[in-house]
Amino acid sequence: MNHTVDQTHIRSINQRVILNSIYHTESISRAALSRLVHISKSAMTENIAALLNIGIIEEVGAGRAMPTGGRKPILLKFNKNYKYIVAIDLNYEEPIFVLANLGGERINHFTINITPATSFATRLELVKNAIATLTASGNLSNTDLAVIAISSPGIYLPESREFRANTQFTNWKIPELSQALEETFGTPVLIVNDVNAAAVGELNYGIGTGKRNLVYFSCGLGVGAGIIIDGALYEGSGKSAGEVANFLVHSPDGPVPLEKYIGLDALLQRVRDKAPAQTLHLVTKETGAVSFRKVTAAWQAGDPFIRACIDEIAGLTGTAISNIISLLNCDLVILGGEYHVFASQMLPIINSIVQEHAFSPVPVVASGLSRDSGIFGLFALSNEIIFNRLCGRSNGGNRM
């Protein structure tokens, strides 16, 4: 019995290695693949046959013949259109909806506007309609979807369906959203912390490519850090690693969470309470309300008060990042989130603090994928789950 279990486990591992290798190449022959992964010819033949039967890889014609002659080898290629992913990023004021194939190629994408006052029932219908619009645009049915992947602020524990987040995010009711989408579309739903998704996106597709240890520091609507250690996402025992919003900052009234000083709500409140008349005119004209979009426009116009606010935020952010670097000894820190737009002003201040105070200073750079970091992270995390599921079920199991 143990022998059977061991062989099944080894077969799954071999299939996963083979699938990974084919995924990362344009096309490859069986002989080249065997040399690359160091798997015996018999095991290679068996596992490739299983993956071809599933449909996740395909034979795509002949390659070049060997210099010594003989038949041209049949090439293998990853079938990027085997299934599709719907990726949803709820981190911004306008959530992003994307339909992509398993190769990360976008078929359609758009945003929708959801105000803070929008009820959960309305949010749910908007999300359902958005997913239906995406699948229809690709002439797909629900069975063509491998996963609906959602990045959201907060911590979601799927086993208990427990969701923990700051009050401004709880109106998404992630457990109910996840269950409703699974029931409506008959598709697994993956929920990932938005900052963790962004960190994985930068690692696999962005400015963090090739790094083994990095931190994605998100600042804006929320404050958090996505941590990559040894090339893998680190979430901690309770999936709450990186909750740097709770870092404490000294104040005359005692310790205060970092987010209360540098978060987007704090910035907007400071503008409402302390901005001079000229600044208030810039950020309230037309609607009379202060918004991040108007604050950004005032910053771009060089408003002195807004720029002073960003200087102060950069100083506190730099202190937090310096502490993180000294703790983790990472290779790189990436600044993302809504405050990515202020990177040209913030990064010189942050890097100056890091160079002066971190034990082993490393560069702090702007996100390479900007607003799309989380979406690309969802692609990578979804593929990981899909590949593992396929390789675990391909021997005698049903197709996904």
Instruction: List the chain domain ranges.
Output: 7-78, 84-199+373-391, 209-368
Whether the model clears a pTM of 0.85, i.e. scores above it, the answer is: yes
The answer to whether the 84-199+373-391 and 209-368 domains have the same CATH topology is yes
- Pair 95, 374: CB distance under 8 Å: no
3-state secondary structure the chain: CHHHHHHHHHHHHHHHHHHHHHHCCCCEEHHHHHHHHCCCHHHHHHHHHHHHHHCCEEEEEECCCECCECCCCEEEEECCCCCEEEEEECCCCCCEEEEEECCCCEEEEEECCCCCCCCHHHHHHHHHHHHHHHHHHCCCCHHHEEEEEEEECCEEECCCCEEECCCCCHHHCHHHHHHHHHHHHCCCEEEEEHHHHHHHHHHHHCCCCCCCCEEEEEECCCEEEEEEECCEEECCCCCCCCCHHHCEECCCCCCEECHHHHCHHHHHHHHHHHCCHHHHHHHHCCCCCCCHHHHHHHHHCCCHHHHHHHHHHHHHHHHHHHHHHHHHCCCEEEEECHHHHHHHHHHHHHHHHHHHHCCCCCCEEECCCHHHHHHHHHHHHHHHHHHHHHHHHCCCCCCC
The Cα–Cα gap between 90 and 194 comes to 8
The Cα–Cα gap between 83 and 140 comes to 10
pLDDT value of residue 264: 94
pLDDT recorded at residue 4: 52
Residue type, 93: E
Q: Cα separation of 88 and 149, whole Å?
A: 6
Q: What is the pLDDT of residue 114?
A: 86
- Pairing of β 74-78 and β 84-89: unpaired
Tokens representing 303 are 């408003």
Backbone dihedral angles phi then psi of residue 108, each to the nearest 5 degrees: -160, 150
CATH superfamily, domain 84-199+373-391, is ATPase, nucleotide binding domain (3.30.420.40)
Pairing of strands 189-193, 214-219: unpaired
d(Cα 80, Cα 347) in Å, to the nearest integer? 38
Instruction: Decide if 180 contacts 117 (C-beta within 8 A).
Output: no
> Could you list the pLDDT tens digit for every one of the 400 residues in the chain?
455 556 788 888 999 999 999 999 999 999 899 889 988 888 889 999 999 999 999 998 765 655 555 567 889 999 999 999 999 998 656 899 999 999 999 999 999 988 878 899 999 999 999 999 999 999 999 999 999 999 998 888 888 888 888 777 778 899 999 999 999 999 999 999 999 999 999 999 999 999 999 999 999 988 999 999 999 999 999 899 999 999 999 888 889 999 999 999 999 999 999 999 999 999 998 888 899 999 999 999 999 999 999 999 999 999 999 999 999 999 999 999 999 999 999 999 999 999 999 999 999 999 999 999 999 999 999 999 999 999 985 443 333 3
How many CB atoms neighbour CB 395 within 10 A? Answer: 14
Within 8 A by CB and 6+ apart from 56, the residues are: 19, 78, 79, 82, 387, 390
Do residues 148 and 188 make contact, with C-beta atoms less than 8 angstroms apart?
A: yes
> Which fold does the domain 7-78 belong to in CATH?
Arc Repressor Mutant, subunit A (1.10.10)
pLDDT given for residue 397 in this prediction: 37
Quote the CA–CA distance of 38 and 117 in Å, as a whole number: 57
d(CA 400, CA 393): 8
CA distance 172 to 157: 15
The CATH classification of domain 209-368, taken from the options 3.40.50.300, 3.10.20.600, 3.90.1150.50, 3.30.420.40: 3.30.420.40
pLDDT score at 400:
38
Q: What is the structure's pLDDT at 85?
A: 98
Orientation of helix 292-300 relative to helix 264-274, angle to 10°: 70
